[in-house]
């Protein structure tokens, strides 16, 4: 007996059959439309990059535990991209001389991380990225928050279904230093601890705090700081707040778009000030959906030119989970709108001519590959989701006519061949 290979995909990756792909394309199409209405231009880049750009800037968890790496025949260490931001920083730096800053770019790459597959996490995912490069203005933060709200609205989400939680890493650093007594050497470890605060039990967090070197009173104070909400801003030095774009946003007319939250820190090492995450408010799916932030020096890996940036990445896994949780996922589209059926094989060429005319008007149209009896072809067309059929019989065709039938109402008309597209559209409503 032959040994057959498995039909299942590699663990943590997914097959998308046509119905699921239809849902995804509808969802992504709405997102592309919103992004382009804001003036974002689409770009793309290679799936293989130098492993060094992730090891230097993406953070220890990605670099040490999640990278898919390989060595090519010339000895170069490469990685399958786990995210797009270092790649776009490289592209921006390499083309800075020909760009008119600020620029708005977006992409939709597939990314790979060696993670334990679970709800919301897989090893290959698709992520919509939106970035602004070349401006330090708080208007960038405002646009990001407005864009997020319009993207979610474009998918049918109401304001009560999600919340944008934001923080400033500089403000948090000040709070940790001034109020908790964290040293500069301890800050990276405490940032990682804060990033786990809502995901781990308190005893596990306390044990990690002890490893970092925090005393019990410091750990207790840390909990108070993280739970203070907007009241924390009153305890911070004025000069620190004066340099915060997020504070300016919170004091202006865009404040309703975002909620200040000291617990938002983001695990990626390249974020420098504003960070934010979008959370599902449903108790059934109470988790972060996607997030992003500001990076003032990411392009500095590639150029001495200072090119600040801000952006976010919206992953497909958590996004589809959100839509399913709230009943917002669209239905798969049918295979076709209309099927053109020749009564016998002798009318096959005529049926293809009719199909070409229908396709020319934008109707998704097919003809039988292997002709069956008319009744079976009508059943097959109905199962394919077609809402109408055009039947080509020899006697009608010789007279220049075809028969158009609605599969929903069973209404049937014999019309001139030239009138078939208009009649189909009329019967389809």
Same domain, 190 and 310: yes
Same domain, 221 and 303: yes
Residue 270 annotated as binding site: yes
In three-state secondary structure terms, 306 is coil
* pLDDT digit string (tens) for the chain, length 429 residues: 789 999 999 999 999 999 999 999 999 999 999 999 999 999 999 999 999 988 886 666 677 789 999 999 999 999 999 999 989 999 999 999 999 999 999 999 999 999 888 887 899 999 999 999 999 999 999 999 999 999 999 999 999 999 999 999 999 999 999 999 999 999 989 999 999 998 899 999 999 999 999 999 999 999 999 999 999 999 998 988 999 999 999 999 999 999 999 999 987 778 899 999 999 999 999 999 999 999 988 888 899 999 999 999 999 999 999 999 999 999 999 999 999 999 999 999 999 999 999 999 999 999 999 989 999 999 999 999 999 999 999 999 999 999 999 999 999 999 999 999 999 999 988
Residue 83 annotated as binding site: yes
pLDDT computed for residue 125 by the predictor: 95
Residue 271 annotated as binding site: yes
Of 286, 304, 325, which marks where a domain is finished?
A: 325
Same domain, 158 and 291: yes
Same domain, 354 and 315: no
Whole-number Å distance between alpha carbons of 224 and 377 = 69
Same domain, 356 and 262: no
Place of tokens 């778009």: 257
Indicate whether 206 belongs to any domain.
yes
Same domain, 205 and 312: yes
Kindly report whether the global pTM for this prediction surpasses the value 0.85: yes
Same domain, 277 and 398: no
Long-range contacts of 220-227 (CB under 8 A, 24+ apart): 221/179, 221/180, 221/181, 222/176, 222/180, 222/190, 222/193, 222/194, 225/175, 225/176, 225/179, 225/180, 225/262, 226/194, 226/197, 226/262, 226/263, 227/262
Residue 25 annotated as binding site: no
Residue 85 annotated as binding site: yes
Residue 127 annotated as binding site: yes
CATH code, domain carrying 320: 3.30.930.10
Same domain, 144 and 222: yes
pLDDT computed for residue 63 by the predictor: 72
Whole-number Å distance between alpha carbons of 191 and 186 = 9
Indicate whether 7 belongs to any domain.
no
Of 298, 325, 352, which marks where a domain is finished?
A: 325
**Nearest by Cα to 162 from 286, 34, 32:** 286
Same domain, 317 and 399: no
Query: In the 8-state DSSP scheme, what is residue 9?
Result: P
Whole-number Å distance between alpha carbons of 48 and 82 = 10
Same domain, 350 and 284: no
Indicate whether 412 belongs to any domain.
yes
Whole-number Å distance between alpha carbons of 150 and 293 = 18
Residue 256 lies in domain: 18-325
CATH code, domain carrying 418: 3.40.50.800
302 class by beta-carbon count within 10 Å (0-12 exposed, 13-18 middle, 19+ buried)? middle
Same domain, 272 and 200: yes
pLDDT computed for residue 368 by the predictor: 96
Whole-number Å distance between alpha carbons of 166 and 265 = 8
First vs last Cα of the chain: how many Å apart?
Answer: 55
Same domain, 125 and 25: yes
Token duo for residue 380 = 């097959």
State how many domains the chain has: 2
Of 304, 325, 346, which marks where a domain is finished?
A: 325
């Amino acid at each position: 007996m032959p040994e057959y290979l498995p039909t299942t995909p590699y663990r943590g990756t997914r097959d998308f059959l046509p119905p699921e792909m239809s849902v995804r394309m509808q969802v992504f199409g709405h997102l592309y439309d919103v992004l382009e209405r804001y003036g974002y231009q689409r770009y793309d880049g290679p799936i293989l990059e130098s492993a060094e750009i992730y090891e230097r800037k993406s953070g220890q968890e990605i670099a040490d535990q999640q990278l898919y790496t390989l060595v090519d025949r010339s000895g170069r260490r490469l990685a399958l991209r786990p995210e797009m931001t270092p790649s776009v920083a490289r592209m921006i730096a390499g083309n800075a001389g020909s760009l008119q800053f600020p620029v708005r770019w977006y992409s939709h790459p597939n990314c790979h991380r060696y993670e334990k597959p679970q709800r919301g996490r897989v090893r290959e995912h698709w992520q919509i990225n939106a970035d602004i490069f070349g401006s330090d203005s708080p208007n960038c933060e405002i646009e990001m928050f407005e864009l997020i709200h319009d993207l979610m609205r474009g998918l049918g989400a109401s304001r009560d279904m999600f919340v944008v939680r934001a923080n400033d890493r500089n403000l948090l650093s000040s709070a940790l230093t001034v109020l908790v007594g964290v040293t500069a050497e301890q800050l990276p470890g405490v940032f990682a601890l804060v990033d786990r605060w809502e995901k781990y039990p308190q005893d596990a967090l306390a044990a990690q705090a002890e490893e970092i070197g925090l005393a019990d009173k410091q750990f207790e104070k840390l909990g108070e700081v993280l739970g203070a909400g907007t009241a924390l801003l009153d305890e911070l030095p004025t000069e620190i707040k004066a340099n915060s774009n997020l504070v300016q946003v919170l004091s202006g007319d865009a404040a309703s778009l975002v909620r200040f939250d000291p617990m938002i820190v983001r695990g990626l090492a390249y974020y420098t000030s504003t960070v934010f995450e979008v959370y599902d408010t449903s108790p059934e799916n109470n988790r972060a959906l996607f997030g992003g932030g500001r990076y003032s020096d990411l392009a500095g890996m590639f150029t001495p030119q200072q090119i600040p940036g801000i952006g976010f990445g919206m992953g497909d896994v958590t996004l589809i989970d959100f839509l399913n949780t709230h009943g917002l996922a669209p239905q798969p589209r049918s295979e076709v709108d209309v099927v053109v059926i020749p009564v016998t094989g002798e009318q096959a060429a005529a049926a293809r001519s009719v199909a070409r005319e229908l396709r020319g008007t934008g109707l998704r149209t097919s003809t039988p590959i292997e002709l069956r009896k008319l009744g079976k072809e009508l059943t097959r067309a109905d199962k394919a989701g077609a809402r109408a059929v055009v039947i080509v019989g020899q006697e009608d065709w010789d007279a220049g006519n075809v028969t158009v039938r609605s599969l929903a109402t069973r209404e049937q008309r014999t019309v001139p061949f030239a009138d078939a597209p208009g009649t189909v559209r009329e019967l389809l409503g």
